[in-house]
Amino acid sequence: MKSNSKKERWTNVVALTKDGERYVFVYDDASRKALLGVFGRLAQNPDLNFSWHDAAVLSRKVRESESELSANRRVFQLRTR
């Protein structure tokens, strides 16, 4: 029996549109924690129209989607086997 040693990689997207500007973040599961740090750095930049509130909202979305995506992936994997 063959063992599937390849780990599946999923790509996730979270986006914010604000005052005509678009912030789109594409990340995988391994970079989720780093993305949360990026939100904070963007909020610190006074040259950007990206607030701490924006960082908090996107962080919450990323964290909420983590458990939701895990559940969906398990269902998808069961259906495709």
What are the tens digits of pLDDT across the range 10-59? 789 999 999 999 999 999 989 999 999 999 999 999 999 999 999 999 99
pLDDT in tens, 57-80: 999 999 988 766 666 666 666 666
Its pTM stands at 0.72
The packing angle between helices 52-80 and 32-44, to 10°, is 160
- Residue 10 contacts residue 29 (beta carbons within 8 Å): yes
In a domain, 51, yes or no: yes
The DSSP code sequence of the chain is -----PPP--EEEEEEEETTEEEEEEEEGGGHHHHHHHHHHHHH-TTSS--HHHHHHHHHHHHHHHHHHHHHHHHHHHHH-
Residue 29's domain spans which residues?
A: 11-80
Evaluate whether residue 3 is within a structural domain: no
Domain count, the chain: 1
Distance CA 32, CA 53 (A): 19
Query: Is 6 inside a domain boundary?
Result: no
